[in-house]
Structure 1
């Protein structure tokens, strides 16, 4: 039901913004205002995030964590769960992009276009969807670790929440998305993650006991030294 609710919400918002050009014009004012107030430090942060959460960056991040879990921790279930959760959240944005087909903000109307992009793939943001998918994946990974109740786990969980928010800000700052694009990414990515987790938890634990993604104890985890 949550998957259905989130998906319908994303589609309703997407169809509304496409059918209401005046609303997009109002939103674009935020992009223009940020474009007029670019600073060296914030621009550097935004451009780093632009690369880090790009399609190439996303593949590298997911692959790196997958290999660390598989080869270093020797936890294949955790590796597969992490990769699946992160990818499902990220790729969900592509599904909604194809249906909604919202044009990106016009870079020619920005005071300082940092990464000019055009096309009908504005809604929702793939960068933000990737960040949200990774956040879900890291949180589930923490739940499956023996460190789930430690201070470090709380700090990591806080970072998992903050990073998508910063990435969302950066997409508007750069001027390649409207605010509703990044808002929809949180809903779309969460719908993709919940769908994947529901299917995983429905079938895989029958084959591999203890493989439930939201389990607090992983069969591959070890207790930390006291």
Structure 2
């Protein structure tokens, strides 16, 4: 096995497999072990309160943010961003990071739904229910991986403090997606909270595997050049 393959297995596959185990454990804890223990017993009341507070304007805004995390949109934005990064930076590190982060969260999400069969909240659903389990939220996981991943990349690529702050505003997108999914009756609060763990961990794992290694290579190259000229 090549050094690259070994690094990918150690830094991506193993951590993602561990994450899958954690997600399943959380799902079993929430739906089986502690389903009748506070604070999990108040989840339904949160969904009912959101249902009572619905308005025409809120329905429209929540639809926008929910659509931002639909699978076709996530795939299209990821592919477009990866293409722009490749053409702009002339290297593969950043595009691969983004694509792997989004793909990893999707894999963990899908496998977790096969194990955890949680019904959706007992409120009126504003969207058609996908065949997958309510736990975790695929929309939220995908939004975290994509928009947090983009924020991480853009912050690394700019040296201006003001621009860095603007880049971090992308993190608000998955937050709005999470609220929208609960508002529209599609997920319990713990579904979206677990999705932040899924998406955020996948971003952290892939950043360490692809971006941090690149930074270390650049630093080693700079150090070698300084030694050569000293």
Tell me the TM-score normalized by structure 1: 0.75
Tell me the CA shift for residue 13 of structure 1. 2.4
Gap regions ≥5 residues in structure 2: 1-13, 220-230
Matched, 1:123 2:139: no
Helix, strand or coil at the partner of 2:186: coil
Matched, 1:14 2:24: no
Q: Which has the higher helix share?
A: 2
Correspondence for 2:82 among 55, 62, 66 = 66
Match of 2:200 in 1: 190
Tell me the CA shift for residue 77 of structure 1. 2.6
Q: Which structure has the greater CA radius of gyration?
A: 2
Correspondence for 1:132 among 119, 129, 144 = 144
Matched, 1:77 2:87: no
Distance 1:200 1:98, change over 3 A: farther
Matched, 1:153 2:164: yes
Mapping 1:77-226, distance limit 5 Å: 77-106=93-122, 109-110=123-124, 113-117=125-129, 119-145=131-157, 147-157=158-168, 159-200=169-210, 205=214, 209-210=217-218
Tell me the CA shift for residue 141 of structure 1. 1.0
Distance 1:16 1:117, change over 3 A: same
Answer whether contact 1:89 1:129 (CA < 8 A) is retained: yes
Answer whether contact 2:97 2:211 (CA < 8 A) is retained: no
Q: C-alpha deviations, 1:46-76, integer Å up to 9, x for none? A: 1112222111111011011112122345443
Gap regions ≥5 residues in structure 1: 212-226
CA RMSD of aligned residues (A): 3.1
Answer whether contact 1:85 1:136 (CA < 8 A) is retained: no
Separation in 1, partners of 2:129, 2:50:
17
Distance 1:120 1:78, change over 3 A: closer
Separation in 1, partners of 2:91, 2:130:
42
Answer whether contact 1:92 1:189 (CA < 8 A) is retained: no
Distance 1:50 1:68, change over 3 A: same
